């Protein structure tokens, strides 16, 4: 499943992927916040707790999406 999904993700989506670190994303987020302050512009950031959100996911829709992206039915 991981290989199928990794093939679809952009390089910018590093998160919890093999040989990737969250350090770069943290630094990027810090820069964006600093620039927003400097430019006096609004910034909206959302952090999602996927551990708690997972129970609210429609499993049928999730499997349809996974199949669409090449994840095999039998894992």
- Tell me the residue range of the domain where 11 lies: 2-68
- Look at the chain and report how many structural domains it folds into: 1
**Residue bearing the bigger pLDDT, 60 or 6:** 60
pLDDT for residue 14: 59
In a domain, 57, yes or no: yes
Residue 63 lies in a domain: yes
Contact 15, 25 (CB under 8 A): yes
- pLDDT > 90 fraction of the chain, expressed in percent and rounded: 21
Backbone angles phi, psi at 26, to 5 degrees: -65, -45
- Tens digit of pLDDT for each residue in 10-43? 666 656 666 767 777 788 889 999 999 999 999 9
More confident residue, 55 or 14: 55
Residue 44 belongs to some domain of the structure: yes
Helices (H), 18-75: 23-38, 50-53, 59-68
Which tokens hold the place of 38?
């400097």
| Residue 8 counted as domain residue | yes
pLDDT at 15: 61
The confidence score (pLDDT) of residue 71 equals 83
- Whether 42 is covered by a domain: the verdict is yes
Q: How far is CA 2 from CA 44, 46, 49, 51, 72, in A?
A: 30, 25, 20, 18, 11
Q: Residue 28 falls within a domain, yes or no? A: yes
70 CB-near residues (< 8 Å, 6+ apart)? 4, 7, 8
């Amino acid at each position: 499943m991981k290989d199928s999904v990794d093939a679809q993700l952009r390089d910018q989506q590093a998160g919890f992927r093999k040989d990737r670190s969250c350090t770069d994303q943290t630094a990027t987020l810090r820069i964006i916040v600093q620039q927003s302050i400097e430019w006096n512009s609004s910034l909206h950031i959302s952090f999602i707790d996927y551990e708690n959100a997972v129970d609210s996911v429609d499993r049928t829709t999730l499997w349809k999406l996974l199949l669409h992206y090449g994840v095999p039915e039998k894992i």
